Amino acid sequence: MHIGTQFRARSDSDYEVFAQLGVNHICGYPPGNYTEWTESHLSRYREKVESYGVALDLIPLPLNSAPLDRQLAEGDCVNIMLGKSPERDHEIEQISNIIGACAQAGIPAVKYNLNIIGIPRTEPIRGRGGSTNSSFRWTEAHQDEPPTMAGCVSTDEFWDRINYFLERVVPVANEYKVRMALHPHDPYTPPGYRGVTRVLGTVDGLKQVVRMHESPYHGLNFCQGTISEMLDNPSEEIYDVIRFFGERGKIFNVHFRNIKGGKLDFAEVFPDEGVVDMLKAARVYRDVGYSHMLMPDHTPQISGENEQGVGFAYAYGYIRGLVQAVEAGE
């Protein structure tokens, strides 16, 4: 396994910074609209990334973590989660084309979300040294917030929409041997919140989804932070969850972040100050044979001009140290 990042390069100098910090594998963001992501377009982007000594391991599909109305405004594929045909069939065709183009361009994996309500959060809190930490406290949430443009979606309807997508796209991933990394729902929310029961917001839901259309190319963008947020006692439970999915070869990328708290009451913190023993977690990834990226996902915002970049740089160094430690057998 190796250190990676999904920090979106703001200019070409960020690719230089990645290499200088030892971050030699990334999830990158090809320029232009996804409808332009042909084999030649993606190949040019991969070659540019590689010119900085960085490998392009992963790119996102146009199925992101934002609420559907925002995804619609950004021009992403919303009809898949709206369950609206024939529009979703056209979107699935476009996504299948991207997967094929990735294979031809030498990009081995894609990540994606199957999300409706986005990433609910409450007011951020102050963390270490006055940093700003994202948080979610159910008692402070607007529990009667109305549904999104999707309206009320039952559990069965949600699974049907997920199945409809996977049934058509997993065979394409099999054909082209491109790994598809699905992100969990962040965070767990009580059934019916905003009209939706988030079926990928529990460990049982994640177990169910990886069993659907079983394939070595269908697995998880394993967000350790999000999964910790599903658990009553993440400091004890997370390691067995890593083992379950890791031993089955279902972890394709890891968002290696930490939290304080647990289900329905947590804050995102720096990796060294949360409830999860990150060295112990790294040992479990090693022991199950995980061989892809460990990357920061969200980090607290800190003071200064580069409030996110410096926080990510801190996390890179921390993760690099852990990887070296577990590789040394510590």
pLDDT of residue 309: 87
Q: What is the CATH number of the domain that holds 162?
A: 3.20.20.150
Beta-carbon contacts of residue 144 (< 8 Å; ≥ 6 apart): none
305 pLDDT band, cuts 50/70/90, is confident
C-beta separation of 5 from 312 below 8 A: yes
Could you give the angle at which helices 234-247 and 278-287 cross, rounded to 10 degrees?
A: 20
Task: Please give the tally of structural domains in the chain.
Answer: 1
pLDDT of residue 136: 98
- φ and ψ at residue 213, rounded to 5 degrees: 55, 55
Residue closest to 310 by CA, chosen among 14, 52, 25: 14
pLDDT of residue 55: 98
With 90 as the cut, is the pLDDT of residue 306 above it? Answer: no
With 90 as the cut, is the pLDDT of residue 295 above it? Answer: yes
307 pLDDT band, cuts 50/70/90, is confident
CA gap 117, 194 in Å, rounded: 7
Could you give the angle at which helices 155-176 and 203-211 cross, rounded to 10 degrees?
A: 50
Proportion of the chain above pLDDT 90, given as a percent: 97
With 90 as the cut, is the pLDDT of residue 298 above it? Answer: no
With 90 as the cut, is the pLDDT of residue 290 above it? Answer: yes
51 pLDDT band, cuts 50/70/90, is very high
Proportion of the chain above pLDDT 70, given as a percent: 100
113 pLDDT band, cuts 50/70/90, is very high
Q: Looking at residues 278-307, what average pLDDT do you find?
A: 94
| Structural domain harbouring 295 | 2-327
Q: How high does pLDDT run on average in the chain?
A: 97
Per residue in 18-49, pLDDT tens?
999 999 999 999 999 999 999 999 999 999 99
Other CB atoms closer than 10 Å to residue 177's CB: what's the count? Answer: 11
Q: Looking at residues 302-325, what average pLDDT do you find?
A: 93
For 102, half-sphere exposure in the C-beta direction (CA atoms, 13 angstrom radius) is 31
330 pLDDT band, cuts 50/70/90, is confident
With 90 as the cut, is the pLDDT of residue 1 above it? Answer: yes
Give the per-residue SS3 of the chain: CEECECCCCCCHHHHHHHHHCCCCEEECCCCCCHHHCCHHHHHHHHHHHHCCCCEEEEEECCCCCCCHHHHHHCCCCCHHHHCCCCHHHHHHHHHHHHHHHHHHHCCCEEEECCCCCCCCCEEEEECHHHCEEEEEEHHHCCCCCCCCCCCCECHHHHHHHHHHHHHHHHHHHHHHCCEEEECCCCCCCCCCHHHECCCCCCHHHHHHHHHCCCCCCEEEEEEHHHHHHCCCCHHHHHHHHHHHHHHCCCEEEEECCEEEEECCEEEEECCCCCCCCHHHHHHHHHHCCCCCEEECCCCCECCCCCCCHHHHHHHHHHHHHHHHHHHCCC
Per residue in 149-201, pLDDT tens?
999 999 999 999 999 999 999 999 999 999 999 999 999 999 999 999 999 99
78 pLDDT band, cuts 50/70/90, is very high
Per residue in 8-19, pLDDT tens?
999 999 999 999
